[in-house]
Amino acid sequence: MTAAATEPPPALNNPFRARFVGPLLLGSTLNPINSSTLATALVGIGVDFHKGPGTTAVLISSLYLCSAVMQPTMGKLATVFGPRRIFVGGLIILVAAGVLGAAAPAFGFLVASRALIGIGTSAAYPTAMALIRRRADAVGTGVPSRVLGNFSIAAQVTTVVGLPLGGVLAGVFGWRAIFFVNIPLALITLALTLVGVPKDEPPRRRGSIFSTVDIAGIALFAGTVVGLLLFLSDLRSPTWWLPPLVIGLAAGLVLRERRARSPLIDIRMLTRNGGLLRTYLRQSVVALGTYTALYGTSQWMEQAAHYTASQVGLILLPLSAISIVVARIVSDRGWIRRPLILTGLSLSVTGVLMLLITHHSPVAVLIVMSLLFGLANGFSGFANQAALYVQAPASDVAVAAGLFRTFAYLGAIFSASLIAATFGAAPTDAGLHAVGAIMLGIGVVTGLMTVLDHAIPARAT
């Protein structure tokens, strides 16, 4: 059941004004910003609380795990209670998380803070997609390609800003500033939301909260996702009891959701909507490719080619720049199918180039490799998001958008394990070439998944 809006019909000449879209964009950047800013603070946290790298790494994994579970869960809550309410609720949770982390007297409080950050920021993207869909349907504009492109560009900007922002905050104010900064960011977004985003109608529920929200489905989904992510996170020494547990939980989830009156995941809809299911799989494969390329080459450049961290940052800077330009061009034209084909081609060419590179290769070759990453990122960012928007039913777009992010997390976490298994003790040229072969395969698979999938529209209409 979807809560309808009480907003008056927005102006037909500009239904997506900055006061409406701005807070949604800002809110959607808070999750990826928190994913990247912490990297520069881990050493200081470890020193202050006497924890090693293995222990402090839980601060990263806790956010990923909570985000992967909570993105579709927040989408479900938005469907039941209204997207604006859940968007605002997520910001309030984020303020509490910032206070808890900034004042943390012990390491356990930081873990709790990061979990709350994952929960709070997970509300933004699925609710933003629901609010945009609601307004687009109200005025009959079709797919708001430029607005969706803005979300893709915001993600690219976040990639550029996250690490240096974390470095400045941790370097000047200490690691607690990494947590504290969430407070003003959340409060600013909250104020803009209350002013610019119209209220939801009063929620209408049938039956108990347990059945309407599908708490049993959420619990089974959480167990399935967490088990799968834990298994994928360490394939060098896999925990073999996890796969049968995941399979059992997934089977229970399917059986539960097929019988549920108000399921978290509409299994029947997904089995009928093969295009949407393939979009999820394609998003996961593309995320696996881009994260493998980005993190794999970053480690190799520092440890095998002996570039400094700042030099690696400069080499990779063109990645974000060209991603932003490509995403703008693609979204302005509303292309979907063609950019996805070009994504596969870009990843494949990247793989071929990685097969030829050694630690003696000139920096110009590495910059070309960075540009190829950027092309793949820019082409896929808008196109997969637009495919989701077109293929998902309007009533389920919030949950569908959350699942979209969950599949991206699966690819990202698997990439870290894949890099560790490929490089072994330390990155080498041979390890980079192995990653290149994997990249070539991922690019071919991405291209075939697009060419053979006739459900992908040529453009957003």
Q: Are residues 151 and 295 in the same domain?
A: no
| pLDDT score for 412 | 82
Is the residue at 210 inside a domain? no
Digits of tens for pLDDT over the chain (461 positions)? Answer: 344 444 555 555 678 888 999 999 999 999 888 877 776 687 788 888 988 766 887 888 888 889 999 999 999 999 989 999 999 999 999 999 999 999 999 999 999 999 999 999 999 999 999 999 999 888 888 778 888 888 888 877 776 677 667 777 888 888 899 999 999 999 999 999 999 999 988 876 666 666 688 888 999 999 999 998 888 877 778 889 999 999 999 999 999 999 888 888 888 888 889 899 999 999 999 989 988 887 788 878 888 888 876 687 788 778 878 888 898 899 888 999 999 999 999 999 999 999 999 988 999 999 999 899 889 988 998 899 999 999 998 888 999 999 999 998 888 888 878 888 888 777 889 989 999 999 999 999 999 999 999 989 998 87
Q: What is the DSSP letter of 459?
A: B
Q: Are residues 23 and 112 in the same domain?
A: yes
Q: Are residues 312 and 399 in the same domain?
A: yes
Pairwise CA distance, residues 38 & 179, whole Å: 9
Contact assessment for residue 397 and residue 130, using Cβ atoms and an 8 Å cutoff: yes
What are the distances in angstroms from CA 92 to CA 15, 85, 251, 273?
27, 11, 35, 35
CA nearest to 123, candidates 65, 182, 76: 76
Q: What is the DSSP letter of 139?
A: H
- Counting the structural domains of the chain, the total is 3
Is the residue at 84 inside a domain? yes
Q: Determine which helix (DSSP H) or strand (DSSP E) holds 266, and give its type and residue range.
A: none
Pairwise CA distance, residues 335 & 379, whole Å: 9
Is the residue at 2 inside a domain? no
Final residue of a structural domain among 162, 181, 203: 203
Provide the residue range defining the domain that includes 249. Answer: 215-259
| pLDDT score for 160 | 63
| pLDDT score for 1 | 38
| pLDDT score for 78 | 92
Is the residue at 1 inside a domain? no
Pairwise CA distance, residues 205 & 209, whole Å: 8
Q: Are residues 284 and 418 in the same domain?
A: yes
Contact assessment for residue 304 and residue 359, using Cβ atoms and an 8 Å cutoff: yes
400 exposed, middle or buried (CB, 10 Å; 0-12, 13-18, 19+)?
buried
Q: Are residues 147 and 38 in the same domain?
A: yes
Q: Are residues 194 and 242 in the same domain?
A: no
Supply the Cα-derived Rg of the chain in whole angstroms.
Answer: 21
Pairwise CA distance, residues 289 & 351, whole Å: 10
The full DSSP string for 343-409 is: HHHHHHHHHHHHHH--TTS-HHHHHHHHHHHHHHHHHHHHHHHHHHHHHS-GGGHHHHHHHHHHHHH
Is the residue at 237 inside a domain? yes
CB-based contacts of 452, cutoff 8 Å, min separation 6: none
SS3 264: coil
Q: Which residues pair with 335 in a beta bridge?
A: 459
Pairwise CA distance, residues 84 & 132, whole Å: 11
Q: Are residues 271 and 254 in the same domain?
A: no
The letter for the amino acid at 456 is I
Q: Are residues 71 and 197 in the same domain?
A: yes
Q: Are residues 389 and 439 in the same domain?
A: yes
Pairwise CA distance, residues 378 & 322, whole Å: 7
Q: Are residues 226 and 279 in the same domain?
A: no
Q: Are residues 233 and 273 in the same domain?
A: no
Whole-model pTM: value is 0.86
Contact assessment for residue 443 and residue 345, using Cβ atoms and an 8 Å cutoff: yes
Q: Are residues 341 and 439 in the same domain?
A: yes
Is the residue at 208 inside a domain? no
- Quickly count: other Cβ atoms within 10 Å of residue 57's Cβ: 14
Is the residue at 171 inside a domain? yes
Contact assessment for residue 367 and residue 312, using Cβ atoms and an 8 Å cutoff: no
Is the residue at 448 inside a domain? yes
The full DSSP string for 164-203 is: HHHHHHHHHH-THHHHHTHHHHHHHHHHHHHHHSPPBPPP
The two tokens of residue 400 are 């569908």
Contact assessment for residue 442 and residue 289, using Cβ atoms and an 8 Å cutoff: yes
| 3-class SS string, 1-52 | CCCCECCCCCCCCCCCCHHHHHHHHHHHHHHHHHHHHHHHHHHHHHHHHCCC
Pairwise CA distance, residues 432 & 430, whole Å: 5
- Quickly count: other Cβ atoms within 10 Å of residue 15's Cβ: 19
| pLDDT score for 143 | 76
| pLDDT score for 230 | 86
Pairwise CA distance, residues 297 & 290, whole Å: 11
CATH code, domain carrying 384: 1.20.1250.20
